Chains A and B, each alone.
Chain A
Amino acid sequence: MKREWFAPVRLSSLFAAFKRKPETVPEPLAVAQEVIDAVPVPVFFKGRDGRYFGVNKAWEDFFGIPRASIIGKTQSDPETDPSVIAKHRVEDEALWNRPGRRTYEIRVSTGDGTIRDVTMYKARFAHANGEVAGMVGTIVDLTERKEAERARQDSEARFRSLIEHAQAESSDTFKDLFDDAPIGYHELDADGRFARVNRTELAMLGYREEEMVGHYPWEFVVERVSQDAVASKLAGHVPLGAFERTLKRKDGSHLPVLIEDRLIRNGDGTVRGIRTAIVDNSARKRAEEVVAAANQRLTQDVAARKLVEARLREAHDALSHKARELAQSNEELQHFAYVASHDLQEPLRMVSSYTQLLERRYATAFDGDAKEFMAFIVDGATRMKQLIEDLLAYSRVGAAGREMQSTDCGAALQRALLNLRAAIEASGATITHDLLPTVIGDGAQLAQLFQNLVGNAIKFRSTDAPCIDIRAHEQDGAWVVSVKDNGIGIDSQYFERIFIMFQRLHAKTEYSGTGIGLAICKKIIDRHGGRIWVESLPGQGCTFFFTLPKPHEAHSDDRMNQP
C-alpha cells in the first residue's frame, strides 16, 4: 500500500519551507520528523549558515538538549570545548568547499556530562539549482568500542609485561636449576666448545668454570675419542644417546660417568649446540665390580663344592660297596653258622648216641679202660655240642636279633633268673636288684645278657655262697647297669681279654665253659649302642657294668619298674 506523504521528500524543499516560515513546521516536515525520530542514532540538519534546523530524538537524548533550544543556533552552542568547536568548524568548512562526505572521530560532551568518543558522519545537500543548501549528519558513539580497545591494549601491555617478567624470572630459575642440578650439565656451542658448565659438573671434576669454557670436551676424556665426534654430533651425523666415559679430574684421578647428549636448537631449527647431562657412575661401577667379584667367588665356591660333592659321592659309593660286601659276608656267616649248628651236630649226635648205645647194650663186655675211653668220647661230643650252640648264639646276636623296642630290663632279668633257677638253687645264691629302667632294646638279648652275667657270677663263686646285686643309675644321659658279685674276682690284666671269644682264664676241669659267654654279652651291648666293662679286685668279687642309651621321649618315672 503506497501512501502519498511517504513519497521521497527532497531535503532542499523541506529547507525551503522552513526558510519561508521558520516558526511553523510544514506538514511534510512534521512527517519527516517522525521518521528521523525513529532512527536510533543521533541525526541533525544544518543550514549553509551553520545553524541547526533539525535534530532527531536520539540527538536530543544524546546531548540532553531539547530540539526547540537548538533550532536556529550554530553548532557551537551545545559545545563548550574550544578544540572540539574548532575541529567541527574545520571539517564543516572542508565539506562546504568540496562535495561529498566527511567522516571524523572526535570526543564530545554529552547532556549527562560524560565525554564520548564518536564518529561524525556529515554530508552536504544542495538546492535544485545546485547551490549548497546545508548538511545532514549522524553521530555514532564509539565510546564502548574505544574502551574495549583500550582495555585490550592495557591487557596486552600487562600480559607483555608479565611475560617479560616471567621470562626474566624463568631465566634466573633456569640458571639455578642448571647450576644446582644434582647431575653435571654443560652446553657446547656450535663449534663444539664448552659454552657453560654447571656447578655440579665443576665440583665433580674439580675445575673452575673458566678452565673448561672454551675448551673441547675430548680434552677431559680418558678414552681416546675422535676430535670429529662432536662436529659429527652437531651436524646430526651420529645419533645422540647415553654412553659411558671416564673423565679426567683436575687432580688427575679418573671419574667414570654416564653421559647423555641432546642437541639444542635455535627458534628457526638450526643447531645451536649440545646440552650434555653427566651422572657420576663410580658407585655403580664399584657395585658392578663387587658383584663381579662376588660372582667369581661364587663360581669358585660352586666349583669347589662340586669337587667336594664328587669326592663325597665317590666315598659314598665306596662305602655302599663295602656295606654291600659286609651285608653279603654277614649273610654268608649266618648261613655258615646255621649249617654248622645243624650239619655239625648230626654226626656229633651219632658219635655220642651210638657210644651210649654201645655202653647200654654191651656194658658187661667192656673192661674199665674201654668204659673210660667211651666216657671221653661222650664228654667230647657233649662239649663239642655246647661249643657249637654257643657259637650259634654268638652269630645270631648280630643278624637274627629282634627289632629294637621299648623293653623292660626288669622283665629281662626275671626271665634270666628263671632260666638259671636250677643253678641258683644249687649254689644257694642270693640275688638282689634295683628298680631297672625301660630301654629301647631287644628283650631276648637283654635276658641272654643278664643270664650270662648272673650265670658267670654263680659259676665263678668263691667258697662263700654267691651274693649278686644288680643296680642301675643314670650317668651322662645313659643308663648304667651293674652286676656285682662276691666271687673269685678277675685280675685287672684280663679285663680286656675276657670279652674276646674263646678266651678262658681257667682250666676246663675247674670251671666248665666255652669262653663265648662274655663275647656274646659284648656283642649284645655293641648292638644296643652301649659299653661293657668290668671292675674287680682279686678275691673281692667283680662288678660288670654296661650302659644302655636312654629313650628320648619317655618320662623318667616311666622308665623304672618294680623289681
Chain B
Amino acid sequence: MTQAHEAQPTEILLVEDNPGDVRLTREALREGKIYNNLHCVQDGVEALEFLRQQGKHADAPRPDIILLDLNLPRKDGREVLLEIKGDEQLRPIPVVILTTSKAEEDVLRSYHLHANCYITKPVDLEQFMAVVKAIDTFWLTVVTLPSPK
C-alpha cells in the first residue's frame, strides 16, 4: 500500500531446510504479482547471521518479512523466534511460522514467543500456492509495516 513497496522489491527471508519446500515457495511467489527478492537460509544459525549481517551475510538486506520453519538443523525455529523477538532491532519484522506441524503445543508455543502468525503447510499444491499468495497479499500489501530504515 505504501509508495516504497511499488518502487523497490520486497525482501523476503525464508528459513527452510527442505529444498523441495524452498522451490515450491519460490514457484508460488513467482505466480504472485509481487516483485520480491527471496533470500533462503537453511538453518537457524544462518538465519540470525543474515538478520545481523554477519559473516557472508554482511551485505544482506533487512527483510520485510520472515517465513520461518520450526524444525531446523543447528538452531531450531523456536530459538530463532525467541532471539528475533528479544532483539529490539529485529522485533518489528513480522515472522510468519510456516511449518508442517499441526501440533497444538507448537501453535501455542509460537504465539507465546510472539510469532505474528502460524500457518500449517497444506499437502495439496493448489492450497499451498493459495497460502503463499495469501501471505504475500496480506503481509506485503494489506498491512502497513514499520518503515525499514
Contacts and interface: CB of A to CB of B under 8 A. Distances in A.
Task: Indicate, yes or no, whether A interacts with B.
Answer: yes
Interface of A: 338, 341-343, 345-346, 348-350, 352-354, 356-357, 360, 381-382, 385, 389, 392, 400
B123 A381 contact: yes
Nearest to A356: B125
Interface in B10-37: 18, 20-21, 24, 27
B141 interface: no
Contacts of B21: 346, 349-350
Interface string B124-149: 11101000000000000000000000
A357 B104 CA distance: 30
A356 B71 contact: no
B78 to A, nearest CB: 14
B102 interface: yes
Contacts of B102: 341, 389, 392
Contacts of A389: 102
A353 B103 contact: no
Contacts of B101: 338, 341-342
A349 to B, nearest CB: 5
A348 to B, nearest CB: 7
Contacts of B24: 353-354, 357
Interface residues of B, number: 19
Nearest to B20: A350
A360 B100 CA distance: 23
A347 to B, nearest CB: 9
Contact of B100 (A349, A381, A400): A349
B123 A385 contact: yes
Contacts of A350: 18, 20-21
A345 B100 contact: yes
Interface of B: 18, 20-21, 24, 27, 71, 99-105, 121, 123-126, 128
Contact of A349 (B27, B103, B123): B123
B123 A348 contact: yes
Contacts of A353: 20, 24, 123-125, 128
B125 A352 contact: yes
16 contacts: A338-B103, A342-B99, A342-B100, A345-B123, A346-B18, A346-B100, A349-B128, A350-B21, A352-B123, A353-B124, A353-B125, A353-B128, A360-B125, A382-B124, A385-B123, A400-B105
Contacts of A341: 101-103
B144 to A, nearest CB: 32
- With a 10 A CB-CB cut-off, give which of B27, B104, B121, B124 has the most chain A CB atoms: B124
B53 to A, nearest CB: 30
Contacts of B99: 342
Contacts of A357: 24, 27, 125
A354 B123 contact: no
A385 B122 CA distance: 10
A338 B27 CA distance: 29
A183 to B, nearest CB: 88
Nearest to A346: B100
- With a 10 A CB-CB cut-off, give which of B21, B71, B100 has the most chain A CB atoms: B100
Nearest to B18: A346
Contacts of B27: 357
B52 to A, nearest CB: 29
A401 to B, nearest CB: 11
Contacts of B128: 349, 353
A345 to B, nearest CB: 5
A360 B102 CA distance: 27
Which A-B residue pairs are the 8 nearest by beta carbons? A356-B125, A350-B20, A353-B125, A385-B123, A345-B100, A342-B101, A349-B123, A342-B100
Given A350-B20, A353-B20, A342 B126 contact: no
Contact of A352 (B71, B100, B104, B124): B124
A400 B108 CA distance: 13
A382 B18 CA distance: 20
Contacts of B121: 349
A300 to B, nearest CB: 57
B115 to A, nearest CB: 17
Given A343-B71, A352-B125, A354-B125, 12 more contacts: A342-B99, A342-B100, A342-B103, A345-B100, A350-B18, A350-B20, A352-B124, A353-B20, A356-B125, A357-B125, A382-B123, A400-B104
A349 B99 CA distance: 12
Given A346-B18, A349-B121, A356 B126 contact: yes
A381 B123 CA distance: 9
Nearest to A349: B123
B51 to A, nearest CB: 25
A137 to B, nearest CB: 147
